[in-house]
């Protein structure tokens, strides 16, 4: 763990206004992994509101990653809001209608990198908490990282480890990732499929294409191995998850010419898998399919794999569904679709549910969120907080 940099942020005039705060966050550029400007702003806003703010920065796997855990109140229950302030690169800024870090509002939309993913939701959660104030019994907390869009090795996973190591109790968590496909209230996420990546390599012998008997082409064997991996579905899905799927994402031999048989062929793949598998059983199934071919190969699984998980139905799920319906008028789908998120780490700390903005423009040029959606999300979070502590 590293000491926090001595960075002081300019506080927005009214941080309890989610749009004002979201604009300030967008104007604090924080392209992963350098999230310090936005993290310093979050820290100062929460400290000014009476939160005990703790920086949990790490740099064990690369550049320094800014992380924050902040808490107000005493004892249990502890309701936590989680999120990230790092963003993906904006691309060519000249292609944006409004500057990617200008935080402009035009025709009812807030433009800027992170407006959707996910500075808008971070602002909404902070604004909701500031409006609620200090719990009379229990605690409100925030877990904010600067390493969600990056490797995710020194971010939320490390903060969760640190909190667990010291016995910090968190009872429930709302993560503000974009969950709605088309409109606010479409869906909230109660789980995610697991993710496993691997590299499959076949060795051969380089040689001239006119003399194949003097060489050994690895490509046909690699094609047969890929076919063995993809010929049959892994499963048909389960009660709560869509089917597992294995996707080959790259096939490469590093050969720029037409008259040389390559010495090596490599395929990279990713599997998004449901609760029919654990990491161990999925790895065993992949090895079984490859082994059945009888072809020599090398298989290496990449670090950073995650298991599937699901928050069980119950009062927490019902409370979030009721808050979303009350504000948006829609009954949200309890979804487990999509990619991975930091919920895969938080689930080791407490039950976690994801609900955020509409994700249609995330990572795009002209990323933007309707101002009305940010206001509505704040109202949903306010209802969740009030319902949670009313229990």
Closest to 84 (Cα-Cα) out of 327, 390, 342: 342
CATH code for the domain in which residue 86 is found: 3.40.630.10
Q: What is the pLDDT of residues 111-146, one digit of tens each?
A: 999 999 999 999 999 999 999 999 999 999 999 999
Q: Which residue blocks in the chain are alpha helix, DSSP H?
A: 18-26, 36-48, 119-132, 156-165, 219-230, 279-291, 315-328, 343-346, 371-390
User: What is the structure's pLDDT at 6?
Assistant: 62
Same domain, 153 and 186: yes
Query: Can 307 be counted among the known catalytic residues?
Result: no
Beta carbons within 8 Å of 318's beta carbon, 6+ residues apart: none
Residue 258 domain-assigned (yes or no): yes
Burial-class residue 222 by CB neighbours within 10 Å (0-12, 13-18, 19+).
buried
Does residue 142 sit in the same domain as residue 29? Answer: yes
37/174 same-domain check: yes
Claim to verify: residue 247 and residue 386 sit in the same structural domain: no
What confidence score (pLDDT) does residue 1 get? 66
Peptide bond before 118: cis, by omega within 30 degrees of 0? Answer: yes
For residue 138, the model assigns a pLDDT of 97
Residue 178 forms part of a structural domain: yes
CB contact set of 39 (below 8 Å; sequence gap of 6+): 30, 55, 66, 67, 68, 85, 144, 146
Residues 280 and 333 placed together within one structural domain of the fold:
no
Four-residue CA torsion sign, 280, 283, 285, 287: negative
Q: Is 268 part of any domain?
A: yes
Determine the Cα–Cα distance for residues 46 and 201; give it in Å rounded to an integer: 50
Token pair of 347 as six digits? 């689930």
Please check whether residues 335 and 361 belong to one and the same domain. Answer: yes
- Of 103, 117, 123, the closest CA to residue 23 belongs to 103
pLDDT of 313 > 70? The answer is yes
Let me know whether 133 and 171 are in one domain: yes
Distances (CA, A) of 253 to 214, 250, 261, 286: 19, 10, 10, 22
Domain boundary among 301, 336, 369: 301
Residue 9 lies in a domain: no
Query: In terms of residue numbers, what domain contains 145?
Result: 18-192+308-390
Per annotation, catalytic residue among 86, 104, 177, 186: 86
Within 10 angstroms of residue 25's Cβ, the number of other Cβ atoms is: 29
- The residue out of 247, 278, 301 marking a domain boundary is 301
Q: φ and ψ at 149, to 5 degrees?
A: -80, -10
pLDDT digits (tens, 9 = 90+) for 278-290: 999 999 999 999 9
Which percentage of the chain shows pLDDT scores above 70? 98
Three-class SS state of 333? strand
Is 9's pLDDT higher than 80?
no
Does the residue 257 lie in any domain? yes
Task: Determine the Cα–Cα distance for residues 361 and 367; give it in Å rounded to an integer.
Answer: 5
Residues 65 and 141 in one domain: yes
Same domain, 86 and 134: yes
Looking up residue 243, the CATH number of its domain turns out to be 3.30.70.360
pLDDT for the residue 337: 87
Domain count, the chain: 2
At which residue do the structure tokens 């950073």 appear?
A: 304
Residues 33 and 162 in one domain: yes
pLDDT, tens only, 76-96: 999 999 999 999 999 999 999
Evaluate whether residue 1 is within a structural domain: no
Do 297 and 378 lie in one domain? The reply is: no
Tell me if 13 is assigned to some domain: no
Q: Which of 148, 285, 342, 382 is catalytic?
A: 148
Buried b (16+ CB within 10 A) or exposed e, 168-178: bebbbbbbbbb
Last residue of a domain, one of 258, 279, 301: 301
Q: State how far the Cα of 5 lies from the Cα of 131, in Å rounded to an integer.
A: 29
pLDDT tens, position by position, 315-370? 999 999 999 999 999 999 999 988 889 999 999 999 999 999 999 999 999 999 99
Active site residue 171: no
Type and span of the H or E element at 143:
strand 138-145
Q: In 3D, which of 340, 378, 23 has the Cα closest to residue 155? A: 340
Q: Give the residue among 177, 139, 135 at the shortest CA–CA distance from 156.
A: 177
By the 10 Å C-beta count (0-12 exposed, 13-18 middle, 19+ buried), 368 is classed as: buried
On whether both 227 and 340 belong to a single domain, the answer is no
Lowest-pLDDT range of 7-21, 107-121, 242-256, 368-382:
7-21
Structure confidence by residue, pLDDT tens digits, 233-290: 999 999 999 999 999 999 999 999 999 999 999 999 999 999 999 999 999 999 999 9
Give the pLDDT score at 258. 97
Q: Is the pTM of this model over 0.85?
A: yes
pLDDT digits (tens, 9 = 90+) for 167-212: 999 999 999 999 999 999 999 999 999 999 999 999 999 999 999 9
Q: Is the pLDDT of residue 100 over 70?
A: yes
Residue 7 lies in a domain: no
Residue 140 has a pLDDT of: 98
- Residue owning tokens 């990653």: 65
d(CA 332, CA 186): 5
């Amino acid at each position: 763990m590293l000491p926090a940099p001595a960075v002081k942020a300019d506080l927005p005039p009214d941080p309890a206004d989610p749009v004002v705060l979201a604009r300030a966050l967008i104007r604090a550029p924080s392209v992963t992994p350098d999230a310090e400007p936005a993290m310093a702003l979050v820290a100062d806003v929460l400290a000014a509101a009476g939160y005990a703010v703790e920086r949990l920065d790490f740099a064990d796997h690369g550049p320094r990653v800014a992380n924050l855990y902040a808490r107000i109140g005493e004892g249990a229950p502890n309701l936590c809001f989680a999120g990230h302030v790092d963003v993906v690169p904006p691309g060519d800024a000249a292609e944006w209608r409004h500057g990617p870090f200008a935080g402009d509002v035009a025709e009812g939309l807030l433009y800027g990198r992170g407006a959707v993913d996910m500075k808008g939701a971070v602002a909404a959660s902070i604004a909701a908490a500031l409006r609620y104030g200090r719990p009379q019994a229990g605690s409100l907390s925030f877990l904010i990282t600067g390493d969600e869009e990056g490797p995710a090795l020194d971010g939320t996973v490390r903060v969760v480890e640190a909190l667990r190591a010291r016995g910090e109790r968190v009872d429930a968590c709302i993560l503000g990732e974009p969950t709605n496909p088309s409109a606010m209230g479409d869906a909230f996420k109660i789980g995610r499929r697991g993710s496993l990546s691997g590299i499959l390599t076949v060795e051969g012998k380089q040689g001239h294409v006119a003399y194949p008997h003097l060489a050994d082409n690895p490509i046909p064997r690699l094609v047969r191995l890929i076919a063995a991996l993809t010929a049959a579905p892994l499963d048909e899905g389960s009660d709560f998850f869509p089917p597992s799927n294995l996707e080959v994402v790259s096939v490469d031999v590093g050969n720029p010419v037409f008259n040389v048989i390559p010495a090596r062929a490599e395929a990279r793949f990713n599997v998004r898998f449901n609760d029919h598998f654990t990491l161990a059983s999925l790895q065993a199934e992949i090895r079984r399919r490859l082994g059945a071919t009888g072809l020599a190969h090398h298989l290496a699984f990449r670090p950073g794999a995650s298991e599937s998980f699901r928050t069980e139905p119950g009062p927490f799920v019902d409370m979030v569904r009721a808050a979303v319906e009350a504000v948006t008028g829609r009954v949200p789908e309890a979804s487990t679709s999509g990619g991975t998120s930091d919920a895969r780490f938080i689930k080791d700390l407490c039950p976690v549910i994801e609900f955020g903005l509409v994700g249609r423009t995330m990572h795009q040029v002209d990323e933007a969120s309707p101002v009305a959606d940010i206001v509505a999300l704040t109202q949903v979070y306010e209802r969740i907080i009030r319902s949670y502590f009313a229990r």
